[in-house]
Amino acid sequence: MRKIQVKIPSCPKSSYCVAVGSGFLSEVLPQIKKAMPGKELFLITDANIAKTKHLKNFLGRQQLPRFIISPAGEKSKNIKTVIKIIEEMEKRTLGRDCAVIALGGGTVGDIAGFVAAIYKRGVPVIQIPTTTVSQADSAIGGKTGVDSSISKNAFGAFKNPAAVFIDVRTLETLDKEQFNTGLVESIKHGLIADEKYLKYLQKNLKAILARKSEPLEYIAVKNCQIKASVVEADPYEKNKRRILNYGHTIGHAVESASNYKILHGQAVAIGIIAANIIEQKRGLADEKRLEELKNLFAKLDISLKIPKSITKKQILDAVKRDKKAVKKWPPFVLLEKTGKVLCRNDRFAHNVERKVVEETIDILLRQK
């Protein structure tokens, strides 16, 4: 097992450890109990995980009070679910001395993290991500949130976990689409921070898709290291952390315009292509990287086609509602070259004219 420390220099007490390994899920609960003696533990998981061996594996012979999010997935990632969970915790008269354990994918982690952030003004949360996307991204870095009836993550908080446990064997039960689209965040990490890592992903794709432990552990560690280095520098997303948003501005907009029928990873892949088109228009990129990326996404069976039901206006409207928008227009993260984000005057996100974005969306909509 490897351990990566995520430091929060502005608040050293909030620093935490990410443990990465293969097949150690059954050892996690005893470790938590040892590290948090006397804490009442409350488990949040979802209907998908409850069906797999992971829940049994995690609990062993122990029992924990729990809430099973049902249905699993984005549909339940809203404030109503948060209210249900908190009222369940209150019914069990859990005090501020409790801790929340999140066992599951991004949805479980986001909901449980937000619950922990606001339950009686905050209790610790332990993240045990079980999907490619949550292991690479959402379980690390402290962003939590749930949707309102109007927009995504309208309710949210920064809540650093007390600890993260990544067992790559939990990926075994993931369906192919979830597994593959979740790898897009790893590709993003390579693009923004480490060209060699991107090459590693291209070269070892077969072993990764065969879900072999070694490459999965390697990418889990690499993702943590990259994300940790960014989050450490800027935990509350004032500037540098923005780079993690690469491909997410148009990506989120497409996801939102599709009414979340498009998976997050697929939307981000489209967003990465969009960023590349903008980069080309600015003379920052050539077609070569675009072709490489399209090739990589094709190998992952990720379609870059935007469904016909989605209009340009819907995407543009969603862009304006971006959380990072200032005066209803978000700044864009762009690459200077593979592995390096464009930084000008100390800023990592840049204004892109509306016209350029519109042209880019036109190109995306024509994509087959």
Residues at the interface with a second copy (CB under 8 A): 10-11, 13, 38, 79, 83, 86-87, 90-91, 93, 95-97, 114, 117-122, 143-145, 148-151, 153-158, 236, 320-328
Q: How far is the CB of 330 from a second copy (least distance, A)?
A: 8
Q: Residue 244, CB half-sphere, CA atoms under 13 Å: how many?
A: 25
Asked whether the CA dihedral 55, 127, 111, 118 is positive or negative, the reply is positive
Complex with a second copy: residue 38 or 283, whichever CB lies closer: 38
Per annotation, catalytic residue among 152, 185, 188, 255? 185
Q: How far is the CB of 208 from a second copy (least distance, A)?
A: 32
Nearer to a second copy (CB atom), residue 54 or residue 159: 159
DSSP strands (E only) in 168-325: none
The least distance separating a second copy from the CB of residue 244, rounded to whole angstroms, comes to 14
Are 363 and 277 in contact by the 8 Å Cβ rule? The answer is yes
For this structure, is 78 an active site residue?
no
Catalytic residue among 222, 252, 279, 289: 252
Q: Is 237 an annotated catalytic residue?
A: yes
What is the Cα–Cα distance from 94 to 83, expressed in whole angstroms?
A: 15
Q: Which residues lie below 8 Å from residue 73, measured CB to CB, with a gap of 6+?
A: 46, 48, 107
Query: Of these residues, 77, 152, 188, 241, which one is catalytic?
Result: 241
For residue 189, indicate whether it is catalytic: no
Nearer to a second copy, 86 or 290 (CB): 86
* Candidate list 152, 245, 255, 276, residue with the active-site label: 245
Q: Is 287 a catalytic residue?
A: no
- Concerning whether 323 is annotated as a catalytic residue, the answer is no
Distance CA 234, CA 90 (A): 34
Q: How far is the CB of 252 from a second copy (least distance, A)?
A: 13
**248 is known as an active-site residue:** yes
Nearest distance, CB of residue 4 and a second copy, angstroms: 24
End-to-end CA distance of the chain: 43
Residue 229 CA to residue 223 CA, distance in Å, equals 10
Residue 319, both tokens: 């862009």
Do 243 and 333 meet the contact criterion of CB atoms below 8 Å apart? yes
3-state secondary structure of 108: helix
CA distance 325 to 323: 6
Cβ neighbors of 23 (< 8 A, separation 6 or more) are 167, 169, 213
Contact 162, 126 (CB under 8 A): yes
Give residue 91's identity as a one-letter amino acid code.
K
Which CB, 84 or 340, lies closer to a second copy?
Answer: 84
Phi, psi at residue 148, to the nearest 5°? Answer: -100, -175
For residue 326, give every residue at least 6 positions away whose Cβ sits within 8 Å of its Cβ, in sequence order, or none: none
The least distance separating a second copy from the CB of residue 236, rounded to whole angstroms, comes to 8
**Residue 318 Cβ vs a second copy, minimum distance, rounded to whole Å:** 11
Helix (H) or strand (E) segment spanning residue 18: strand 16-21
Annotated catalytic, 227? yes
> Residue 148 or residue 367: which is nearer to a second copy going by CB?
148
Catalytic residue flag (residue 185): yes
Which of 11/35 has CB closer to a second copy?
11
Compare residues 238 and 308 and give the one whose CB is closer to a second copy: 238
Of the candidates 217, 232, 237, 279, the residue annotated as catalytic is 237
Residues forming the active site: 121, 143, 185, 227, 237, 241, 245, 248, 252, 264
